[in-house]
Structure 1
Amino acid sequence: MRSVINLIFVSLFIIWGNVVAQDAQSIVAKADAVVNAPKDQKATLTMILIDKNRNQKQRIAEFLQKGDDKRIMRFTAPADQKGIAFLGLPNDVQYLYMPAFHKVRRIASHVKNTKFAGTDFTYDDLSSFSYAKDYNAKLLSQDDQFWVLELTPKPGVNKDYGKLKMWVRKDNYYPAKVEFYDKGGNLWKVMERRQIEKVGKYWVSKEMEIKDLKEEHATIMKLENIEFDTGLPDKLFTKRYLKRAK
């Protein structure tokens, strides 16, 4: 009788564990879906770079995205940064355009964790707006406002981060905060999304800050002139368009 009870207990524990795991993974998938809900979007980005002495530099960029796997970011100011552009395409294909060399080059896998143009966003960060496909999720805790999840790279997925810790809002599934840990388990970066509000039928964060704790550097990104579902054509997300002068 005791063996039967133990067997039932173990079975229920396994089922409960699978349900929790599935719930955590579905939460991340829904968070991805909320962030990438628009068919397409475009915005003006104001980026403020802050060093450890609190000195600031400001950059302006245009941002275009179609679906969840096509995006362009191009600096339009200041003059020494104008024209530098990043293109992210499906299957983790990425390109960089540097006006000084008049050449588009593909970003190799081994440099995708390099920072983009002095910001605190790596090339991989700029492409990784979808977490469910690359990470396995586990529910750590929850309260009235947030689910707190631990994300670890799936087998075969190469990431510089050993794990992530993500706070997802319960009212709208928006990921409000992400902590990035290195492979030694040390906290490396913190990303916070602020001014989360609904624009039309979509939730959007109008201000994002990412801090690199190791380098004591931060980048604040503010979104302005946001437009959704304008019918951006595929030809905009090409190497030819990447070189277009602004």
Structure 2
Amino acid sequence: MWLIVLLIFSLLWNTSFAQLTADEILKKVDEVTYAPKDQFYKAKVILIDKNGRESYREALMYQKGTHKRLVKFTEPADIRGIGFLSLPDDVNYVYLPAFKKSRRIASHIKNQNFAGTDFTYEDMEALTYSEKWKPEFLRKDESHYVLNLTPREGRTSDYSKLVMYVRTDNFYPEKIEYYDKAGNLYKILTRRKIQKVGNYWVAFETEMKDVKKNHTTRMVLDDIKFDTNLSDDIFTVRNLER
């Protein structure tokens, strides 16, 4: 009897997940990735060229809510201070210490890479997936929902589409394929060592691979802190230039 009850419960449970729409899945992705009120971490950044040669950097990242993000390099000395600031209403700045001045990033240069990494300014902007991308359900396998994402009306992107692999157990976006305007695979983002820290899921290693250039940027997180009531003063041009 209990076996029959468990089988029915399991069937109903799986059916309820199968009934999720693409929009509902993507909304859950946003809820998971932007769950903390604020977050801070240090990151070791490894750049790997087509010959396998590696160079190392260190960076700090601050995030508040869904629309405020500050990234700043701290090592090595020749790039120390280079930073990126993302604010609400599609406002983004880059700071280059050599010029001692911040520059607002125009829409037509968002496809430029940030400080030699494989992340463009568009990749780094603080914006939920649901705000920018319209999802279409492609398929579900044993461990992932697979979504096709295209820019929503009124939103611009250097990518024609993204293909996102969302874990079915926790709705964490484990892999994203980026396609260029011609529909060719451009880059692949892979998140590894996904663990729960307190109430939040975190990928301790993130890799962005440019398949055209055969160049990779790998970020390894350290010293992660959540919900520390970060000040709004952190997310200002003045602080970016400090």
- Contact persistence 1:168–1:174 (CA under 8 A): yes
Q: 1-side partners of 2:108 and 2:19: how far apart?
A: 31
Q: Does 2:191 match 1:193?
A: yes
- Contact persistence 1:21–1:139 (CA under 8 A): no
Deviations 1:11-50 (A, max 9, x none): xxxxxxxxx9971011011101100100000000111001
Equivalent residue for 1:183? 181
SS at match of 2:129: coil
- Contact persistence 1:120–1:210 (CA under 8 A): yes
SS at match of 1:133: helix
Change (3 A) 1:65 1:226: same
What is the identity, as a one-letter code, of the residue corresponding to 2:230? L
Q: 2-side partners of 1:101 and 1:43: how far apart?
A: 27
Q: 2-side partners of 1:128 and 1:240: how far apart?
A: 19
- Contact persistence 1:113–1:160 (CA under 8 A): yes
Q: CA RMSD in A?
A: 1.3
1:218 to 200, 207, 216: 216
Equivalent residue for 2:121? 123
Equivalent residue for 1:77? 75
Equivalent residue for 2:32? 34
- Contact persistence 1:32–1:129 (CA under 8 A): no
Q: 2-side partners of 1:107 and 1:48: how far apart?
A: 25
What is the identity, as a one-letter code, of the residue corresponding to 1:141? R
Equivalent residue for 2:201? 203
Equivalent residue for 1:98? 96
Total equivalences in the alignment: 225
SS at match of 1:191: strand
Structure 2 length as normaliser, TM-score? 0.90
Q: Does 2:165 match 1:167?
A: yes
What is the identity, as a one-letter code, of the residue corresponding to 2:164? M
Equivalent residue for 1:114? 112
What is the identity, as a one-letter code, of the residue corresponding to 2:46? I
SS at match of 1:235: helix
Structure 1 length as normaliser, TM-score? 0.89
Q: 2-side partners of 1:144 and 1:25: how far apart?
A: 20
Q: 2-side partners of 1:21 and 1:242: how far apart?
A: 45
- Contact persistence 2:59–2:75 (CA under 8 A): yes
Structure 1 unpaired stretches of 5+: 1-19
Structure 2 unpaired stretches of 5+: 1-17
Q: 1-side partners of 2:217 and 2:126: how far apart?
A: 17
Q: 1-side partners of 2:191 and 2:132: how far apart?
A: 21
- Contact persistence 2:86–2:126 (CA under 8 A): no
Equivalent residue for 1:7? none
What is the identity, as a one-letter code, of the residue corresponding to 1:166? M
Q: 1:128 Cα shift?
A: 5.1
Change (3 A) 1:161 1:21: farther
Change (3 A) 1:231 1:75: same
What is the identity, as a one-letter code, of the residue corresponding to 2:130? A
Deviations 1:102-140 (A, max 9, x none): 111111111111000000000010015521111111111
Equivalent residue for 2:5? none
Deviations 1:43-88 (A, max 9, x none): 0011100110111111100110000110100000000010001000
Q: 1:184 Cα shift?
A: 1.4
Change (3 A) 1:68 1:30: same
Q: Identity over the aligned pairs, expressed in percent? A: 52
- Contact persistence 2:40–2:61 (CA under 8 A): yes
Equivalent residue for 1:57? 55
Q: 2-side partners of 1:71 and 1:128: how far apart?
A: 6
